[in-house]
Chain A
């Protein structure tokens, strides 16, 4: 096998798949819910201030910069290429959720726009105080070597 086609994914990285990280607490903040609702111009009566319920897309605010911490980094370039949200219960304003992050998948792709790239999918499950799953978040970062990608153009 030519050197450039050898796997970039190590056994240590594979061993991270499915391992749940330390729990982290995030709060469904009223100001976040109101701000994203207003930016989107959402007049859905289910998410008005007095309902105490946040719109589902408040999920975008639950994590911030910590969201991708713990992601195995294989190659220096990175583009968010996929995202998935799953909703099981409404988001309640003021509710503290426990977030568990894990590496869901690491795979490689040869050829294409980015050359030899590595796709890392991270997942976060958000549970309420009763232990119920409220929502899940998945994000795939396509990692690539910008120099190799340019050569392949």
Chain B
């Protein structure tokens, strides 16, 4: 990981897409094996009874992925300030997801250098999650 500076970022810059392959084990491990969670996260049959095509990928896992994705982009001296996500449709374990992002605004506010990024999680090319992330970056000056 390296540092990214405010001056080096432009509106319309795209973040390198990143692929994730969610699994049922990942959902169980994320919450901890001793912690009760929604049975649809770990049991494809339970999820099918709820009308979902397979084990459900937890929303908490998806927003965590988005947070890490943008945090990695922001670099060692950047910081994620907020993440806002809309879950548009369920995702199912075993199907690859693509994280994507694009810079939509950059500005200075109270001497802070802020970047707004539009993010999406794509499943089979269609967004299952859309959102906005704000990061604060260091300045070269």
Binding site for B on A (CB under 8 A): 31-32, 35-36, 38-40, 42-46, 55-57, 60-61, 64-65, 79-87
Contacts and interface: CB of A to CB of B under 8 A. Distances in A.
A32 B64 contact: no
Nearest to A43: B1
- The CB with the most chain A CB atoms within 10 A, among B60, B79, B81, is that of B60
11 contacts: A36-B64, A40-B65, A44-B68, A60-B61, A60-B63, A81-B87, A83-B59, A83-B85, A83-B87, A85-B67, A87-B80
Interface residues of B, number: 28
B35 A42 contact: no
A148 to B, nearest CB: 15
Interface of B: 1, 26, 29-32, 35-36, 59-61, 63-65, 67-68, 71-72, 76, 79-87
Given A40-B65, A60-B63, 5 more contacts: A31-B32, A39-B26, A39-B61, A64-B35, A82-B86
